[in-house]
Structure 1
Amino acid sequence: SNAAPPAGASLRKPKSWAGQLRVVQIVRETPTVLTFRLADPAADRLPFDFLPGQFLQVEVESEDGKAARRSYTIASSPTQRAYVELTVKREEQGVVSRHLHDKVSAGDLLKVSGPFGAFTFTGTDAQSIVLIAGGVGITPMMSVLRYLADTAWDGDIFFFYGARSTEEFVFRDEIERLERRFANLHVIAAMQRSPGTVWMGPEGPITREMILAAVPEIASRRIHMCGPPAMMGAMRTILAELGVPEAQVHTEAFGPASLPADASDLEVKPAPSPAQRPPPGSEVAPSTVTFSVSGVSAALPAEETVLEAAEGAGVEIPYACRVGQCGVCVVKLLEGEVTMAVETGLAPSDKEQGYVLACQAKGTGTPLVVEA
């Protein structure tokens, strides 16, 4: 057949990278949200590829001199090879977002690793897509939307966005311009009108009636959601009532969807000191783990995770939550077998290909070889 491959067909799961990117531009989107455009300081294209919906981890030095890491979803499209954009809301309790907003200027270098995450959509997985976003949870949806627009994807795109007020409507001008240009893009936004702004759309949260009116045959559609926990919970209930199978609802497991209510818990969990780690158990014999990229081997006591062994051996594996939720510490297991108490952050397709979560993986008595 002479038919062109569908949009996104050439995109494979990218390898992750770590290094420094230069902040080439900072744009104020709303009173509380900035976009940081990052580029390779030594080349005219990015040193990594990514899929729409993936995130990067940013590391900064906090006020007390310790490293603080935080993951931010990429808002730009993978079709833009020269730069990547992170759109970040300033959280009063967020060490990293405060640092980015208050201390970082154009020209500065940022320590970055990634891309990570399986909350992606390239147009090959479904004939249409429903994107539901709240607040700064719009970032993965913008990457998807920009990519589908750049590749002139012809499926229907239903884009729901809820914000507190028109003042906080991130990317409003661009979304309105895309909607005028693409007949297959249907935007439904709901928010309170800020003084001095024009708003003809519905006020208040996204409702069941709005979804029913805008999306024909909703039960057959693929749905991606990202937003504050209360909004996500309400949407899940509405979609279940509308007969949408759970398997068709994809949610961002790392971004705003999973953030704890207590903002002080937002930052990366610190590595436990050796004294805090549990003593080796007697059930499984101690073994070894070899890190193939670093060329380092280390002892792996029965109760120690691959991530803890890596830290003890000076091998850097990116991480964030340390409880198996975020998926940042995914590594490939080349030899041996492991057990994992929690696998929430691991995509089933990745598990089939031999990937494990370093923060959860423990040995079973045989030597392990890990790609790190």
Structure 2
Amino acid sequence: MTPENWLSQNAEKLGSPFEKMFIKQVLTHLPGFDFSHLQAQTPFHDIDGQQRYCDFTYEVPGRCKLVIEIDGFDKRGTGFGMTHEDFLDWQRRHAALVSQGWDVLRFANRDVRDQPERCLQYLSLVMKQTQHGQLNRSDQDTLGELQKSLKGAQAALESAQQKSENLEGALHGAHKHVYTLNRETRTLKTAVWAFAFVIVAALGIFTVKDIFLDRNQVASFTQSVSSDQARPLQPRAYSGAVGGSCANPISWEQASRHIGEKKALIGPVVQVTTREDVNGSPTFITLGAAFPDPSRFAVVIWGSDRSKFQSTLNMGNGLLNREVCVVGEIGEYQGQPQIILTEPDQLAL
């Protein structure tokens, strides 16, 4: 998307001429800036539940989550700048954004107008930090991160190989079982034939066709036994009540009514985000409504458990808009319901 297209679509959202000036004099000169990820007047809620708005947000899932504010000294037009109440509200607004994982960068109206190069320099430094990690990171640290990623990939490969070997063993056992059943069936048929011949020869009143074992019944019996050996694993279940299993789950919209309960819950995937910059390196699978909508439901997989879910997470954007069922205890973090997954049987596509 070009800057001109973005301005034509968002002109009504811009609250001051300095915001439009910021687009033209700063953002259009930032290399690699993608206007399709830029949003004006983005809503958010503070800890008191009050809805607020920030001038601009630039969010690329898993890479960048940045708020940009264009500030004037005298927002009320009194000629005296901020009051104590204005300053308190400004601080609470800033704390709410940071607590929700946003990097916040503020520019004064005067710098936007008179020194756009200064604004561009600060913005370039922050973009590099949010997208590529801390500046001046040593090669040794980079190598350590790569080694950790390689170990994780090797562990996932070993796990997949072990599962493949277990599956081959199970298939071999199933084939052996079917072979044994077929041999026993042939023996049974031979015995029935011999018994029928003796009866007919001795009494002369029974016909051989009344004694033959129905071949269709034998085939049906063999197929039934074989199918019993290959029944798929079922997702974890807690009870037969509503929400007790993925066969009878509750909707993601009902999660807030069941905090502290073990439930099976279903909903569409709208976001998949991994936050390496957050302690524990969590992966968030958001159901129902996208962040920061307060009605959303979060599925959390910590970095230490991520390899167990690698096959699902490797689907990437293929998960979007798919309905998934998750099973576990519904918890709460900062007023939002969530389930933390530790084992693969807690997640079903």
TM range (shorter): under 0.3
TM-score, normalized by length of structure 2? 0.20
Higher relative contact order (CA 8 A, sep 6+): 1
Q: Using structure 1 for the length normalisation, give the TM-score.
A: 0.19
More strand by share: 1
